[in-house]
Amino acid sequence: PVTPHRGAVELGYWRDDYVSLFVRSAERRAPEINRGYYARVQSCFLVVEQFLKLTGGECQVVSLGAGFDTLFWRLHEEKNSPTCVYEVDFKQVVARKALAIKTKRKLNEALVEAKISGNGVSSRNYHLISGDLRDTTDLHQRLCQAGVDFSLPTILLAECVLVYLSPEESRGLLHWASTSFPSALFLNYEPVNLGDRFGQVMLSNLRSRGCPLRGGLTCETVADQKKRYSDAGWASSECVIMNEIYGMLPVEDVKRMEKIEFLDETELLHQLLEHYCLSWATNDDRRLGLAGIGFVG
């Protein structure tokens, strides 16, 4: 696999000692793109950290469409792990990730009592399973078999995943998550504001590369993002444009990051950030204060 994330990591945008173990080569991207990746990675990680703090680590992570994400290992390195991490993706991705975990000591030494095969990974603190997010009945069964405790506080992660599903499919997934996890936070990163000229160019470019955004119509506004959570039964929801979140990230680290690559003109960066958002919804039967998770300007 090739991913632009490794290119940003190699330049020092953020630290990730594990992505190179999954990804053969780095794709170099423009500074605006790398800053956007930085904002995405840092903001998602900050939400996960808040969730872990509120639950005291007595929780689980369910990563939907996890790809070659390294969150499990980064949290383990920081000694800030949840009870268990469950990752779900298509079987082709799972097979490649499982092979990397099996053959790289730095990856498999973090697992407790692991069983690794071409079909996935099973251990006390990490599971990698194949599944199709469009079939929530099968997904639920696979998570049950892997040992998910649906009563345990759970953070579900979906980064640029829902937008590739049809509106009906994403609605079904959000409804399944809301009804299955009474104490949970669903975190979603994806495009927004696609109805304007810049958004239409984004859609056109992705279509020309064979990556149509089937769920683009559900991403037109911030209000659309919040409404689909309430329609799916979530108790509370928030949606923040990445332009706003960029200004709420830790100031000193942003200053460090911005020195890595010179950016003569910031207009394109702001346009990009205006067309992505971070949204999250909560159910809080345990009254942990999950609705208080977020960003402070």
Does pLDDT of 209 surpass 90? no
Q: What span, in angstroms and rounded, lies between the C-alpha atoms of 293 and 43?
A: 12
Which tokens hold the place of 231?
């329609």
How much is the pLDDT for 206?
A: 84
How much is the pLDDT for 123?
A: 98
CB distance 186 to 281 below 8 Å:
yes
pTM for this entry = 0.96
**pLDDT tens-digit map of 161-205:** 999 999 999 999 999 999 999 999 999 999 999 889 998 898 888
Q: Which helix (H) or strand (E) holds 13?
A: none
How much is the pLDDT for 277?
A: 97
**pLDDT tens-digit map of 223-274:** 999 999 999 999 999 999 999 999 999 999 999 999 999 998 999 999 999 9
Does pLDDT of 2 surpass 70? no
Mean pLDDT, residues 265-284: 96
Mean pLDDT, residues 77-89: 97
* Other beta carbons within 10 Å of 136: 19
**pLDDT tens-digit map of 15-51:** 999 999 998 877 789 999 999 999 999 999 999 999 9
CB distance 292 to 236 below 8 Å:
no
Average pLDDT, the chain: 94
CB distance 279 to 226 below 8 Å:
yes
Which tokens hold the place of 239?
């949606």
The angle at the Cα of 91, spanning 14 to 202, to the nearest 5 degrees, equals 55
**pLDDT tens-digit map of 103-150:** 999 999 999 999 999 999 999 999 999 999 999 999 999 999 999 999
How much is the pLDDT for 219?
A: 76
Q: What span, in angstroms and rounded, lies between the C-alpha atoms of 9 and 29?
A: 12
